[in-house]
Structure 1
Amino acid sequence: MQAPAVFMDLSLEDQAQELRKYFKSLGAEISEEKSVKGIEDDLHKIVGVCDSCFKVGNEEEIDAILNSIVSIMVSISLDRGENLILAFSEKLAKAPGQKLGMVALQSLWRLYKNLESTSPLRYHVYYHVVGIACRVGQVKEVFSGVDQLKKEFSACLPSSEQMQKLYRLLHEVLKDNQSELASKVMIELLGTYTSENASYAREDAIKCIVTALADPNTFLLDPLLSLKPVRFLEGELIHDLLSIFVSEKLSSYQQFYNDHKEFVQNQGLNHEQNMKKMRLLSFMQLAECNPEMSFDLIQSELQLEEEEVEAFIIEVLKTKLVRARMDEAMKKVHVSSTMHRTFGKAQWQQLKDLLYLWRANLNNIQEGMKNVAAAQQELVAQQQKA
């Protein structure tokens, strides 16, 4: 979203008086006279009635008025800046309807971009920007990812409590349409807790697990188990369910569901989607140990009907989680590689061994090339003597 530069031809005091007159003409409870206390007090009075412009119905006029207010805000030193910024942000957050919501979003984004990068006030503006962006369907315009968000606040880090509040809001607005990004946000949120306060993050930890399980594109789930707030859930049903998705077979999930149907439903999880995901995860686990699998093995392990096997394998290959070739005639699958369902110490050791093997092979090739080059030079030398 673009952030136009903020500037006005009038002096700040004259701008303030014009704004007073404008809002007075709309019937707002404000006088036309400048405050004897100065421009900051004028601004407080103006912000207090700024939402009365929403009754005008002319988006261009409203944008110009709000832009004038923003131009004063970013041009003066604010002794009571936090209260003023919060009041202005809260007023704009209540802009009714899609069109006025867009105007309010542009004005707050303009304010955010014109505040110094070292200003702690930027956090408060951005928090309300996200809220409005959600309402008008513009979240992608103001949030592209956790890394981008960290860069935005790198010059002035908000407190852990502030970031937790922002991450919760982002998760709430992303969970229905961008589940993968919502999962990353929630994991980042849980990472803000320490051993001392992790026990207070129970609700966030449960949301994180549910979001990850429900996301059709999230398959590497074991990193969640290492998060401190998730550890505090050990012994609870939600932790048991996560553990099943991390490392157990489809039959384990079916048994869990049969024993705790109401629990799964109360978490907002869809049983059929869970079954589909567990079949994919179980297939990945099979592929790790079986470079060649018969259709009968797949049918048995994943509890499929005979006519469902080929269609299932095609779906697996579409995900690119497993690289394999299906032999319909021989009713087999030949696996060339697979994403690991879990990535722990054993997988790191396997990767280390593979890299050492590659290095050894490259050394052998290099030595071979040296021998070939030496033999070639010796042959040339002999030919020259002859």
Structure 2
Amino acid sequence: MAAPHQPQLVFVDGSFEELAQEMADFLSVSEEIKALVEKKQKDEILKKLIIASPALHSIPEKEFAGAYNLLVYLILQSDNAAMFLPRVCENLTKPITSSPINGPGLALNTLTTIFNMLKPDDELRFNVFMAILRFLKIHGMFENIKPYLKSLDEWMNEWETDSEDQRQAYEAIAETAREAGDVHTSYQYILKALRTFEDDEVKSENAQKIALRALKTALLSPTQYDFQDLLNVPCVQALSETHAVYFELLTVFAEKDLEDYNQFREEHEGFVEKEHLDLEKLQTKMRLLTFASLAARTQTREIPYDEIAEALQISPEEVELWIIDVIRAQLVEGRMSQQKKVFLVHRTTYRVFGEKQWRQLGDLVDTWRETLSKVATTLRKEQAGLEAQKKRDLEEVERKLANTGVSGPGERRRGDRGDRGERSERAPRKERTDDDD
């Protein structure tokens, strides 16, 4: 596929009738369309060509792309292209017998060419896009379309697709991604599909079906630990009335701990197993989420191993393995102190941030403020003590210098010639007489 506003990629020379006759010769139906060509019955000619077009799957590989490009070009000359293109796209999902190895690649290239031959705002592009998705699902080639999904919303605006078509596309992407093992992308597009429902549709059968699908995907995903986005979707909130037990389970995973989960299982005995929700996966995820909550509410930033073991309902010997798992899940950052048997928390993820968490954060900030105030007071005392000691040391040095007759740093020695304001005294000069000779 190409970026939006890609120019048409196929250029041919000749009238529709001439090119149609050439295509008919290639498909061995020239006699069948001869009279139609003379009467210039464009759509009737195209019907004959499309009915015969499966024969293209047995022609030599090197001729495949050119033949299909010509067929698509002819279709686009009709005012009823929307009637013919879906049949061509459907044909391309069938095996290409002349090229068992390269066939899927040839078919995908042809579907992509069809997409790019259409004008950017042509609503037929939506139909071709859906055909490409079906093809990729059949052949397990989801990775080929992932780079272009970022343009999908822009394309849909250009095609002026309604909410139902958008939902259809998002669901198809989610299902194709799921089969390809891309759980994260699958979940994101289920959420996008849910958001296409209007307020008066959130309790509809289809909306609730997709909401349950999103809920189950989130619970069983090995990478999904944040459930707040899901809880905020109106269709999911409506589950509290249509599927109350499922909604209760979602609330437990969004906001509560392992103890609450165990209580849920006691109150709804057999529910998890009956719904095929994979008990082991849910138990593991709930322990990791409980660990994250424990780390978030600790104020000392040190969690004893015994406290972790109690919260996760595991043996003390298992604590370090769960520490590794919670760090790997990127729910908590920190390091183990095996000597002190504590986990030192560096960073943690809040599962939900409401009034309770604001209070906890306020308490934590108050604790930090108090600690920093004590540190600042201690530093000021230390600084004042150092300055006082420095002053005492200087006074002691001056005292010792004064006792030895040596001037201190602030005194000047007597008779210092450097004192220009005074002169040293000399004896009076003796007058010379004759007796001195």
TM score, norm. by length of structure 2:
0.72
CA gap of 1:91–1:344, structure 2 versus 1, over 3 A, is farther
Alignment map for 1:168-317 (pairs within 5 Å): 168-176=171-179, 177-200=181-204, 201-235=207-241, 236-257=244-265, 260=268, 262-290=270-298, 291-317=301-327
Residues 324-356 of structure 1 deviation map (CA, whole Å, 9 limit, x = unaligned): 1211111101112211112456768969x99xx
Contact 1:222–1:343 (CA<8 Å) still a contact in 2?
A: no
Q: Which piece of structure 1 moves more, 326-335 or 83-92?
A: 83-92
Instruction: Tell me the CA shift for residue 305 of structure 1.
Output: 2.0
Q: Is 1:71–2:73 an aligned residue pair?
A: yes
2:106 paired residue among 103, 108, 112: 103
CA gap of 1:30–1:160, structure 2 versus 1, over 3 A, is farther
Aligned partner letter, 2:249: L
Distance 2:113 2:221 in 1: 34
Q: Which piece of structure 1 moves more, 5-14 or 259-268?
A: 259-268
Aligned to 2:89: 89
Residues 177-218 of structure 1 deviation map (CA, whole Å, 9 limit, x = unaligned): 010110100000000001111112010000011111111111
Query: Which one has a bigger Cα radius of gyration?
Result: 2
Aligned partner letter, 2:328: K
Aligned to 1:17: 21
Q: Is 1:140–2:148 an aligned residue pair?
A: no
SS at match of 1:325: strand
Residues 195-249 of structure 1 deviation map (CA, whole Å, 9 limit, x = unaligned): 1111120100000111111111111102211211111110522111111110111
Q: Runs of 5+ in structure 1 lacking a partner?
A: 358-386
Instruction: Tell me the CA shift for residue 280 of structure 1.
Output: 1.1
Contact 1:6–1:70 (CA<8 Å) still a contact in 2?
A: no
SS at match of 2:303: strand
Aligned partner letter, 1:120: E
Contact 1:101–1:136 (CA<8 Å) still a contact in 2?
A: yes
1:49 paired residue among 49, 52, 56: 52
Aligned partner letter, 1:45: K
- Aligned-pair identity in percent equals 26
Aligned to 1:39: 42
Q: Paired residues, what number?
A: 349
Contact 1:21–1:31 (CA<8 Å) still a contact in 2?
A: no
CA gap of 1:267–1:108, structure 2 versus 1, over 3 A, is farther
SS at match of 1:183: helix
Aligned partner letter, 1:137: G
Q: Which piece of structure 1 moves more, 339-348 or 159-168?
A: 339-348
Distance 2:185 2:27 in 1: 42
Distance 2:67 2:121 in 1: 27
SS at match of 1:46: helix
Aligned to 1:6: 10
Instruction: Tell me the CA shift for residue 296 of structure 1.
Output: 0.5
CA gap of 1:287–1:12, structure 2 versus 1, over 3 A, is same
Q: Runs of 5+ in structure 2 lacking a partner?
A: 369-437
Distance 1:57 1:299 in 2: 68
